[in-house]
Amino acid sequence: MVSKTIVAQVTVGSNPTPSALEHNRRAIVTSTRAIGVGIACATLIFIAFTPAGAAAATAAHESAAHALGAGEAVVLGVVEGLTEFLPISSTGHLLITARLLDLPTTGTAGDAVKSYEIAIQFGAILAVLLLYRRRVGSMVEGLVGRSNEGRELLRVVAIAFVPAAVVGVIAEKVIKDVLFGTWPVVAAWIVGGVAVIALSRTGRLSPVGGRGLASLTTRDAMIIGGAQVFALWPGTSRSLVTIVAALLLGVSMSAAVEFSFLLGFVTLGAATAYEMLSSGKLMIDTFGIVVPLIGLVVAFAAAAVSIKWMVSYLSRHDLAIFGWYRIGVALLVLVLLATNAI
């Protein structure tokens, strides 16, 4: 990475410079990483905004407080916002992006980075709140007994929320220790991609026809909620499994997508609140308040754009394109692994 090259020049001092061969090898690795970031998610062009001086200070002083600068915060915010509600796994993209940015993955700094990645989900949550404020308002009215429709929707969303919440709390340590890795993410991307393409070819994921949001039953909510448990495996995508489960139950594409957003609003809200209560202080002590706020604002803007595009696209198409994307990004990551770029 550029930061490593800068620091090498700063810290070597009077020592001889690396050989031409070593210099070329480092340049190739750096270029491969840059290309990988660009292809995997074009939004990583924002990495250009990372201050070189701050990057040099990061490695030179081995300081956790500078492990995540404004540039990295912007990149992660864009990635989070664009991918959170698309059926391609935001967790998987954030994990790979963090590797490409060479952010710490262990120790205090590593824990703070992971907390940051969860905290900026709040930006995506706010985007749903803004775009679906009337539906959310109806649910609030249902909570206080002013809307029967809102109360029923709130009830099925609550039922669908429970399975993943329970399993997530019980299996939290196993999930973080075993599944948060590059290989599990790649495997989930491929399996999910193949499944989506196969189902699309049967016509069962068609954007035409199906039941409305008001038709969702307790049974539907339990099945969709059970499917959401699979999304605890990074790379699977909460959005993917909830939308596919709803479509297979005969729900229309528009209703499936909207229910996925509303369920995500509750699920991500709970996950973010839990993370902030348990590790929020560590994140703020490590990065301060400005850097997380930058990521949150960027994630909000990116999520708003992503949601509006997704709703428009899926009103005319099925999910096949996302299946092909998942396989493509998985193959790209395999190439990056094979070339030691990550």
Residue range 89-116: average pLDDT?
90
Report if residue 190 sits inside a domain: yes
pLDDT band at 220 (very low <50, low <70, confident <90, very high): very high
Question: What is the reported pTM?
Answer: 0.80
Report if residue 231 sits inside a domain: yes
Is the model more confident about 237 or about 57? 237
Is the model more confident about 7 or about 162? 162
* Residues 6+ positions from 221 with CB-CB distance below 8 Å: 155, 156, 157, 159, 160
Report if residue 36 sits inside a domain: no
Residue range 175-201: average pLDDT?
94
pLDDT band at 27 (very low <50, low <70, confident <90, very high): very low
Report if residue 198 sits inside a domain: yes
| Residue 134: predicted pLDDT | 94
Encoded tokens for 72: 């990295």
Is the model more confident about 268 or about 13? 268
Q: Are 247 and 276 in contact (CB under 8 A)?
A: no
Instruction: Look over the chain and give the mean of its residue pLDDT values, rounded to a whole number.
Output: 84
* Residues 6+ positions from 336 with CB-CB distance below 8 Å: 32, 33, 36, 100, 342
Could you give the residue ranges of the DSSP H alpha helices within 120-252? 121-131, 133-143, 148-170, 172-174, 182-201, 218-229, 238-248
Number of structural domains the chain divides into: 1
Sign of the Cα pseudo-torsion (341, 50, 95, 314, in order): negative
Report if residue 48 sits inside a domain: no
Residue carrying structure tokens 């997704």: 310
Phi/psi for 211 (5° steps) reads -80, 160
Residue range 314-328: average pLDDT?
97
Q: Are 66 and 287 in contact (CB under 8 A)?
A: no
| Residue 104: predicted pLDDT | 87
Residue range 123-142: average pLDDT?
95
CB count in 10 Å sphere of residue 136:
20
Which range of residues forms the domain containing residue 289? 68-338
CB count in 10 Å sphere of residue 252:
19
Residue range 109-122: average pLDDT?
91
Q: Which pLDDT tens digit goes with each residue over 151-175?
A: 999 999 999 999 999 999 999 888 8
Report if residue 53 sits inside a domain: no
**What angle do helix axes 133-143 and 148-170 make, rounded to 10 degrees?**
90
Encoded tokens for 276: 């902030």
DSSP codes joined into one string, 162-179: HHHHHHHHHTHHHIIIII
Residue range 243-259: average pLDDT?
97
Report if residue 18 sits inside a domain: no
Is the model more confident about 39 or about 83? 83
Query: Per-residue pLDDT for 39 more than 90?
Result: no
Report if residue 112 sits inside a domain: yes
Residue range 131-137: average pLDDT?
95
